[in-house]
Amino acid sequence: MVKNISKQRFIFSSEQFWIYAILFALGVFALEMFFLGMWALPIINYSILYMAEVKVLDIIFTVLFALVFGFGAGMFFLAKKTNTMACAIGSGSGLLSFFTLLCPVCPIFFLAYFGLSTSVLVLVPYFWIFRIVALVILIIGLILLWRGIQPRKLPSIDRHLVFQKSAVALIIILFFSNQAMAISMGNKMLGKHSMGVELSGDFAKDVYALTVPLEIPFYGEELGLDYSGVKAINASISKLAIMAPKQGSHPIELNPEEMKRYIAIGTEPLITCEFCCGVKTLVRKDGTPTCGCAHSIGMRGTAAYLIRNYPEITNAEISYELMRQKSLYFPKQMQERMATELAGDSADFTPDIKYLTKDLTPLELKNLNKKAQESGFVPQDSPDMVGGC
């Protein structure tokens, strides 16, 4: 026992307390910000789509919750080290200690509150009632810990052990980062770019999801594309158009092999903007443009960019991306065409619908065919055309 020292001073002068408190506070803050959609996992670029506006009050609560959580983690460490009433298993380390959650004389008992608050943490960004519950649970746990801490001399930190554990953690992080990078590069080499669409069972919504892109494509971030509104889409068309061969202000000069692919894609019927200017292809057999409208120029710029910068993906995958753009520019017409053709035989699909449905399974196509024939279709509220002709 440490003589003539208050519990407050014992806690706040403990180096071990501050190490755990800071690490856990930073970890929880990062986790909560992830749930709020404020950052994406590196390498795989996965993020949470937060369904509300992040306000200042949300950030303030996140900081407060992280600080309380970190404070509890630091106190838990001290309680585990100083409480002499802990049972043999609970006072140990590793996974066995988690089996003492309901032992009332063990400081591990805090984990029952600590763990529950962690579970509630996942729902915290969406419901204020859960935020309050999680905070109350943490405070209850802190009170129990405060009572369980007995000021006593703690062994000094084994800095060599800390270094070893940090090195192991770093190796684990690097290992998983390397695996994620390998998967990402493997997908890129195989031409896999998350082009599939998850169906909901609601025919009108599924038709919309199959045609109109709800988020920017895999190449959108590097080009600064934005599909959030009509003005943003027009700006994105302009960014794509400058790369169009023979027409853009900064055209991509394709080599002979690349030009063959460009012509093969651009001369397939309906892989173009026929709703706007009536043409049936993007280019002629010599590669010259068939139309001077913004839609057509933007689609040709996209084709050239993907051929040059993603040579591993197939012509069909490039055509898919072009048809998603086409649906973005003509959402109403493409929904109507999709619904009409889904009611018939898939063998009769026009090329644009064929590419937009290429990732569907036979069972999914069968179910969509049945729903298309059951009742009339009303397209989602969409304009006839987005972007200039």
Q: What is the pLDDT of residues 258-277, one digit of tens each?
A: 999 999 999 999 999 888 77
The per-residue pLDDT for 114 is 45
Alpha carbon distance 382, 237 (integer Å): 18
Alpha carbon distance 206, 315 (integer Å): 25
Q: How far is CA 272 from CA 116, 277, 340, in A?
A: 55, 10, 19
Residue type present at position 284: R
Q: How far is CA 360 from CA 134, 196, 205, in A?
A: 42, 8, 15
pLDDT in tens, 195-217: 567 788 889 889 999 998 878 89
Structure letter (DSSP) for residue 283: B
The per-residue pLDDT for 42 is 65
Alpha carbon distance 35, 52 (integer Å): 11
CA atoms within a 13 Å half-sphere pointing along the CA-CB vector of 40: 8
**Residue ranges, the chain, pLDDT below 50:** 1-2, 4, 84-119, 180, 183-194
Residues 213/327, Cβ–Cβ less than 8 Å: yes
Residues 278/290, Cβ–Cβ less than 8 Å: no
Sign of CA dihedral 290, 296, 300, 301: positive
Angle of CA points 252, 214, 248, to nearest 5°: 15
The per-residue pLDDT for 276 is 79
pTM of the predicted model as reported, rounded to 2 decimal places: 0.52
Alpha carbon distance 7, 356 (integer Å): 66
Q: What are the structure tokens assigned to 292, written together?
A: 């001077």
